[in-house]
Amino acid sequence: MNKKIVFTAFCLMIFLSQCAKTNDGIIMTVNGPVPSGEMGVTLIHEHILVDFIGADSISYNRWDKSDVAKVAIPYLKKIKQLGCKTFVECTPSYLGRDPLLLKLVSDSTALNLITNTGFYGAGNNKFIPAFAFDETADQIANRWIKEWENGIEGTGIRPGFIKIGVGSESLSVLHKKLVIAAARTHLNTGLTIVSHTGPSIPAFEQLEILNREGIAPNAFIWVHAQTEKDLSSHIKAAKMGAWISLDGLNDDNIEEYVRMIKNMKESNLLGKVLLSHDAGWYHPGEENGGQFRGYTALFEKLIPRLRNEKFTKSEINQLLVLNPAEAFTIRIRKI
Ligand SMILES: [Zn+2]
């Protein structure tokens, strides 16, 4: 164990002992633990870089960290000006997760950045490393738990959540295995399970697996829940305790988001809603990283619209500050 890891573990202990007193938790950023109460306004699902080349060909040689940082930093400075303090970077391993890049960007912007552990099964398993097809759920979980305990790939940078991805239909055997691995990682780490899901069928199937593994639904974020057009499913999953991530916000779909958020408010479930853009990102192999979508629609379009709809300051604070803090606080959530 190197000195840095010992120091990080020591800080974590101090934080956790304080948490016990204040009943407050921590999140894990690329620069170490931060009290959940200091997360501030948080974008819960965004990207700085994504590379769709596939698990068999991905490599850090495909991009230059300083080039990527140069492109991304102005977009991050912009959201910082708009009040954002924490940025959850959802790019999974084998899709361009780059902890050192995120640390570079975090150090240049003073934003909290959070990275993840896990494997992404959506996209016909193109982003799952070959060894994972044959390994058991426990073997896969052990890899993820090690990243939490020791840091990712020798960087000392620790994941702040588990990111998995499943297909949009009923879960395959392989994807069930990923969910079980995520469940067992959660039980050993307290990291929240953030699952690229889409429609409600795989969402409820995952909640059922978590239930069998003894994990409470509030350890689960239903990513891309906006894909499910039957809004009663959002209500049903939120009433179970799951987090409903409405994370594809852009300048052209504000009204759809207002409708989905109001649907949750009418059932007194604003406390289960998470909002983000799923925007960015640098595309390796494209000229200057290709088209980069900014992260401002929430601040410049959605919030003013919610104010028009008589959302109070405290309701907006709940959506942007309290819910992310509650969702990403590291703690084991058993049934
Ligand atoms: Zn995403």
Convert the pLDDT of each residue in 263-273 to its tens digit.
999 999 999 99
Q: How confident is the model at residue 11 (pLDDT cuts 50, 70, 90)?
A: very low
| Mean pLDDT across 266-282 | 98
CA of 256 to the centre of ligand 1 (A): 19
CA of 165 to the centre of ligand 1 (A): 10
Asked if residue 6 has pLDDT above 50, the reply is: no
CA of 239 to the centre of ligand 1 (A): 24
CA of 93 to the centre of ligand 1 (A): 12
Q: What is the C-alpha separation between 87 and 8, in angstroms, rounded? A: 21
Model pTM greater than 0.85?
yes
CA of 36 to the centre of ligand 1 (A): 22
| Mean pLDDT across 135-143 | 98
Asked if residue 13 has pLDDT above 70, the reply is: no
Q: What is the C-alpha separation between 116 and 332, in angstroms, rounded? A: 16
Asked if residue 159 has pLDDT above 50, the reply is: yes
210-259 pLDDT, tens digit each: 999 999 999 999 999 999 999 999 999 999 999 999 999 999 999 999 99
- Strands (DSSP E) contained in 154-212 are 161-165, 193-196
| Percentage of residues in the chain having pLDDT higher than 70 | 93
Asked if residue 193 has pLDDT above 90, the reply is: yes
Per the structure block, which two tokens stand in for 202? Answer: 């795989």
The closest alpha carbon to 97, from 166, 50, 142, belongs to 50
At 113, the amino acid letter reads: L
Per-residue confidence (pLDDT) for residue 15, from 0 to 100? 39
| Mean pLDDT across 197-211 | 98
Asked if residue 26 has pLDDT above 60, the reply is: yes
Per-residue confidence (pLDDT) for residue 53, from 0 to 100? 97
CA of 46 to the centre of ligand 1 (A): 6
CA of 310 to the centre of ligand 1 (A): 30
CA of 237 to the centre of ligand 1 (A): 20
Farthest-apart Cα atoms in the chain, separation? 54
Cα distances from 99 to residues 7, 113, 115, 117, 160, in angstroms, run: 19, 10, 7, 11, 11
Computed over every residue of the chain, the mean pLDDT equals 94
Per-residue confidence (pLDDT) for residue 288, from 0 to 100? 96
Per-residue confidence (pLDDT) for residue 17, from 0 to 100? 39
Q: How confident is the model at residue 58 (pLDDT cuts 50, 70, 90)?
A: very high
| Mean pLDDT across 74-83 | 98
Per-residue confidence (pLDDT) for residue 24, from 0 to 100? 80
The closest alpha carbon to 329, from 247, 205, 219, belongs to 219
CA of 44 to the centre of ligand 1 (A): 10
CA of 331 to the centre of ligand 1 (A): 23
CA of 211 to the centre of ligand 1 (A): 25
Q: How confident is the model at residue 122 (pLDDT cuts 50, 70, 90)?
A: very high
| Mean pLDDT across 128-152 | 98
Asked if residue 8 has pLDDT above 60, the reply is: no
